[in-house]
Structure 1
Amino acid sequence: MIYISAFGMVNALGNNLAQIAVQLQAGEAPGMQPRDGWLQDGKRCWLGEVQGALPLIPAALAAHNTRNNQLLLAALAQIRPAVDAAIAQHGRERVAIVLGTSTSGVDEGDRQVDDTLPGYDYRMQELGDPSRFLAHYLELDGPAYTISTACSSSARAIISGQRLIDAGLADVALVGGADSLSRMPINGFASLDSLSEGHCAPFSADRDGISIGEAAALLLLTREQQPLALLGCGESSDAWHMSAPHPEGVGAERAMLMALQQAGLQPQDVGYINLHGTATPLNDQVESAVIHRLFGDRVPCSSTKHLTGHTLGAAGATEAALAALILQHHLPLPPQDFSQAARDTSLPECGLITAPQPLARPVIASNSFAFGGNNTCLIVGKPHE
């Protein structure tokens, strides 16, 4: 079994675990606001921004000076003692880094074209840069690579870290991901009519698309027993459509079943499901149908994307870290917010909760589905016999 020895994150909820725990329970995200200057048509859009100052990139690593990498440093700072201890115990060549991103430094590349970014280096926008940067920053010699499969990127990075340890290629793995706000994905989703005109409202009757957010989350995986474990992982690629989910959720269902099988669990053993829940009309319809088929309406579930925004390549790791936070601090489950939008009662019943409630069983599943039919499910929980 692979365990989680430490985790850290930053997103629209807050800049550290304590802030995020408070805001998650309050159902309020200070960083989720309507913002100007991002859409080409001049309209405002709701975005989730990490507020406050971020760590500076060292001068020696100026070629990697992106907001994406600053977000990673902010998450790393929260778990640095555990990372340093792992390096001291196992050696620099036995610590792997696997990260997920869909933007890397695309925003810096965009600003370089506009001549508003002095000191631009082409490496800033390479998809492989986040893992390369952290490996240089921590002076590590183990495996280091980046995965980019759109919105499942960092979930797949976690799965890859698990595999590296299982294969004996590393003793510990620093896994996760980051995505920063950028005009390209924001306008890209708008061009697909998938960007909400307001604040995204997953599973509501009037849902009209996503609200994008930025975030970083890092988890330290190890073989050594810890209070929290990565109980199971599932992944699939149904390749149904470039940007739409399979209408019956075949790949999503396969990923969830695979995760349950690896964890040695039955559907009724799961205490909560963090839904992908993007608030696009089709995703929420398909996902609720798949959950209904596998779990009925017996397992509490909700989406947290109205609080963080859809953090794209960072979503899988962000929501796995939120699951770990709920488990570690015995937080109440975050409800789906229908205070500003009516619930879509035409969707299959899937256990959607509308008020906070305690976690009955210490097992949380988290779904991340991506363009191209790229599907993942992670199960985090207390180790079981």
Structure 2
Amino acid sequence: MREQSAQRRAAEKPVYVHAATLSCVLGRDGAAVMKALSEGFSLVDNGAKRTTPAHEGAALVEAAFQAGKIAPADRTAGLAELVELAAPHAHRALAAGIKPEDIALVAGTTTAGLAETISQAAAAPDHAPHPQAWLPMSLGRSAGAAAAVLGLTGPAYVLSTACTAGAKAVAEGARLLRSERVRAAIAGGFDLVNPLTDAGFLALGARTPKGSLPFCTAREGLALGPGGALLLLSTEPVLGESVARLKLVGWGETSDAHHISAPDPTGAGALLAMRTALRSADLAPDDIDFVVLHGTGTDQNDRMEASAVHALFGDKAPAASLKRAVGHQLAGAGAFAGAVACLLISDTLRTGETTLPLNTPAELPLDLTLAPLALVRSPERRHCRRVLVNAFAFGGSNISLVFEAVDDVKEAKHR
């Protein structure tokens, strides 16, 4: 079986990451975001939100509407955000000579145009809104509408598996590439905060214990933050002038079906997802330089994830959650973590090492009832070539992604 697995891996085409775009409360500039993460910025502590509006995306959406390419229901803030994140990748792939029908767009989201629907419903409190008012929140619309805005005609669809959707979209894009259905895939996820989602998670947060700190954020209610990320993937190491320096080498997906919202407290599904990701990448736990935790700051997730990560890595692999800094981006969380992983690896390739994101400052107490992990608690420079990313969701949905530096750029150019 092990020999067959090795032969299968050898026959699979590498999936290269050519670029990543991201969005969060800290803005859209990757270098600035990484600096804030490494300095321990806390959305929980100061609540500062510096989200950059999707100006370019909104302009492209409006132009597409005026040209009759999209319907009135598609003129949403969510579509503008998706187009803002996807446009640079679409332009790069098209400029490299890839045909529009050979470019996929796979997006994870849970909110779509929910804010617009809520607004229309609030404007008609005495009677039910017109049926058309519900169209913006149709989750399946956004990817197809974004593709229409950008002139892409390849596969375009949405995944909505709650907080694993963005990471699952990345794996889905990789599968499309390996099946040779497309030559490039724009994949990831995003979500925007809206009153309904915010109220739902505040209710969950109100039931979490207070007065202590888990391994990622203060347990004072779950902090939500808008944003996410999209990656440009291809099995071709060279796209025009772009030479890929890193790749997605493995992923693992499991489903607990333990409870409608709570994770399996044993962490068995999360552990299997990580092990499957490492096995598909032909890597051992000791090969991983950094683990991006899902780390929501809620008691059940943190307890489950700490147990699973400790079972695989002990307290050796440096680890951190990003949600203390940027909030929980829901469907965008796993994709955003993937973009951060890519930036860490790129920084290592450029300078020889990188500064890891800070989990919680050293002066803050930890919840010592959780399984111990090698949490990043003070500024730490590391050689970071392989990163594992976790994302977990309601319904027991689990996924882990593994990103790795390309060993030889010259070899990649001539593949």
Do Structure 1 and Structure 2 share a fold, with TM-score over 0.5? Answer: yes
Say whether the 8 Å CA contact 1:100–1:176 is kept in structure 2.
yes
Say whether the 8 Å CA contact 2:319–2:376 is kept in structure 1.
yes
Match of residue 70 from structure 1: 80
Aligned CA RMSD, in angstroms, stands at: 2.7
1:249-328 aligned within 5 A: 249-328=267-346
Distance 2:62 2:32 in 1: 26
Match of residue 405 from structure 2: 382
Please give the secondary structure, in 1, of the residue aligned with 2:383.
coil
Q: Give CA deviations for 1:189-228 in whole Å, capped at 9, x if unaligned.
A: 2223458799996526962442011003111100112211
> Which residue, 167, 181, 185 being the options, matches 2:197?
185
Match of residue 58 from structure 1: 62
Match of residue 92 from structure 1: 100
1:135-174 aligned within 5 A: 135-174=147-186
Q: Give CA deviations for 1:111-134 in whole Å, capped at 9, x if unaligned.
A: 11012999x754321111221121
Please give the secondary structure, in 2, of the residue aligned with 1:297.
coil
Segment of structure 1 superposing worse, 200-209 or 366-375: 200-209
Distance 2:206 2:172 in 1: 29
Distance 2:384 2:399 in 1: 22
Segment of structure 1 superposing worse, 224-233 or 335-344: 335-344
Match of residue 37 from structure 2: 24
Q: Name the CA shift for 1:333/1:204 in 2 (closer, same or farther; >3 Å).
A: closer
Segment of structure 1 superposing worse, 61-70 or 282-291: 61-70
Q: Name the CA shift for 1:194/1:250 in 2 (closer, same or farther; >3 Å).
A: farther
Please give the secondary structure, in 2, of the residue aligned with 1:230.
strand
Segment of structure 1 superposing worse, 147-156 or 10-19: 10-19
Distance 2:151 2:245 in 1: 28
When you count helix as a share of all residues, which structure comes out higher?
2
Say whether the 8 Å CA contact 1:245–1:371 is kept in structure 2.
yes
Segment of structure 1 superposing worse, 120-129 or 323-332: 120-129
1:110-149 aligned within 5 A: 110-115=118-123, 122-149=134-161
Distance 2:373 2:362 in 1: 19
| 1:110 maps to amino acid | I
> Which residue, 362, 365, 368 being the options, matches 1:342?
365
In the TM superposition, residue 346 of structure 1 has moved relative to its aligned partner by 2.1
> Which residue, 208, 212, 232 being the options, matches 1:220?
232
Distance 1:205 1:128 in 2: 32
In the TM superposition, residue 49 of structure 1 has moved relative to its aligned partner by 6.2
Distance 2:50 2:145 in 1: 22
In the TM superposition, residue 53 of structure 1 has moved relative to its aligned partner by 5.8
Q: Give CA deviations for 1:33-57 in whole Å, capped at 9, x if unaligned.
A: 87xxxxxxxxxxx585624463323
Aligned pair count reads 370
Q: Give CA deviations for 1:121-161 in whole Å, capped at 9, x if unaligned.
A: 54321111221121101111111110000000011100110
Match of residue 256 from structure 2: 238
In the TM superposition, residue 167 of structure 1 has moved relative to its aligned partner by 0.9
Structure 2 residue runs of 5 or longer lacking an equivalent are: 1-13, 238-243, 349-353, 409-415
Match of residue 377 from structure 2: 354
Please give the secondary structure, in 2, of the residue aligned with 1:58.
helix
Q: Name the CA shift for 1:200/1:21 in 2 (closer, same or farther; >3 Å).
A: farther
Distance 2:217 2:173 in 1: 38
Distance 1:373 1:48 in 2: 30
Distance 2:30 2:192 in 1: 19
Q: Give CA deviations for 1:313-360 in whole Å, capped at 9, x if unaligned.
A: 111111100111111123311121246742112221121120121233
Distance 1:199 1:381 in 2: 38
TM-score (norm 2): 0.82
Distance 2:325 2:283 in 1: 29
Say whether the 8 Å CA contact 2:193–2:226 is kept in structure 1.
yes
Segment of structure 1 superposing worse, 205-214 or 259-268: 205-214
Distance 2:187 2:397 in 1: 19
Distance 2:211 2:245 in 1: 36
Distance 2:164 2:197 in 1: 15
Structure 1 residue runs of 5 or longer lacking an equivalent are: 35-45
Distance 2:92 2:204 in 1: 42
TM-score (norm 1): 0.88
Distance 2:270 2:214 in 1: 18
In the TM superposition, residue 162 of structure 1 has moved relative to its aligned partner by 0.5
Match of residue 396 from structure 2: 373
Larger radius of gyration: 2
Distance 1:281 1:356 in 2: 26
